[in-house]
Amino acid sequence: MSIAQNLLQIKAALPDEVTLVAVSKTKPIADLKQAYDAGQRVFGENKIQEMSEKWEQLPKDISWHMIGHVQSNKVKFMAPYVSLIHGVDRLSLLDEINKQAAKNNRIIDCLLQVHIAQEETKFGFDEQELKAAFDADAFAPYTNIKISGLMGMASFTSDINQIKAEFTQLKSLFDSMKNKPTAQVNLHILSMGMSGDYELAIACGSTMVRIGSSIFGSR
Ligand SMILES: *Cc1c(COP(=O)(O)O)cnc(C)c1O
C-alpha cells in the first residue's frame, strides 16, 4: 500500500479525540510530501537538525513535534518553529527551552517524558520525581513554557500484559495530576502508542499516537 493509503486507513480507525503524529524520521522529503498531500499536518522527528531541514523545505502549515531525546545545545535550532516537544526528560532542559522560547517571543508546549518501561535505556522522569516536581511547583519559573501533558514509551516486548500495565500506570499518573492546573501546567495530552502498540495505548487512554513504520514503511 502507498503512504497515503496507509495514512488514511490508520486515521479512519482512530477515535476523533486522538491526534496522529506521523513519525517521519529518516524518511525523505518526498515521503513526507505524500503524507502531506493526503492531509497529514502533524509530523514527528527525533533529530533536531533533520527536522529543521524538513521544516525549511516543506509547507509552513505543518506542526513539527520533537519526539526524541533533546540535547540542550540544539534547542535553539528548533525554538523558532517547533510546536510540541515530547521528550522533556529532565528539569535542566526546561531552562534552555524557556530561554530559547523567550528569545523567539514564543510559548513552547512541552510534554514530560515518564519512564514507564522496564528497560534501563529509556529516558524520562520516574513517578516520584515527577510528583515531587509538581508538588514543589517546579515549573512556575518557566513563563515561556506550557507543560501540556505526559509522554511515555512502553517496554520493547511481545508481552501484551506488561505493555498494558505500563500504559495504565502512565494513564493513572496523568489522571492524578491533570486536575491541578497552574499558570505553566495544564495536562491535557497523553502521548503514548507507536506502530506496534497504539491500539492498546488508545484503549488505555492515549490522546496522541506517534506512528512511523505503519505509515512510511520500515526504517
Ligand atoms: C521512532 C519513534 C516512534 C515511531 O515508531 P514506529 O514503531 O515506527 O511507529 C514513536 N515514538 C518515538 C519516541 C520514536 O522514536
User: Does pLDDT of 121 surpass 80?
Assistant: no
Can you give the pTM of this predicted structure? 0.97
Average pLDDT over residues 142-171: 96
For residue 2, the SS3 value is coil
Mean pLDDT over the full length of the chain: 96
Q: 36-63 pLDDT, tens per residue?
A: 999 999 999 999 999 999 999 999 999 9
Residue 23 beta carbon below 6 angstroms from any ligand 1 atom:
yes
Average pLDDT over residues 18-25: 98
Q: 71-115 pLDDT, tens per residue?
A: 999 999 999 999 999 999 999 999 999 999 999 999 999 999 999
Q: Which atom of ligand 1 is nearest to the CA of 23?
A: 4
Q: What are the angstrom distances between the C-alpha of 179 and each of 134, 175, 186?
A: 12, 7, 8
DSSP for 99-153, please give it: HHHHHTT--EEEEEEE--SSSSS---B-HHHHHHHHHTTTTTT-TTEEEEEEEE-
Q: Which amino acid is at 40?
A: Q
Residue nearest ligand 1's atom 6 by CA: 212
Average pLDDT over residues 118-124: 77
Residue nearest ligand 1's atom 12 by CA: 67
Residue 67 beta carbon below 6 angstroms from any ligand 1 atom:
yes
| Model confidence band, residue 123 (pLDDT cutoffs 50, 70, 90) | confident
Q: Using most ligand atoms within 8 A of CB, pick from 21, 26, 46 the residue to mutate for ligand 1.
A: 46
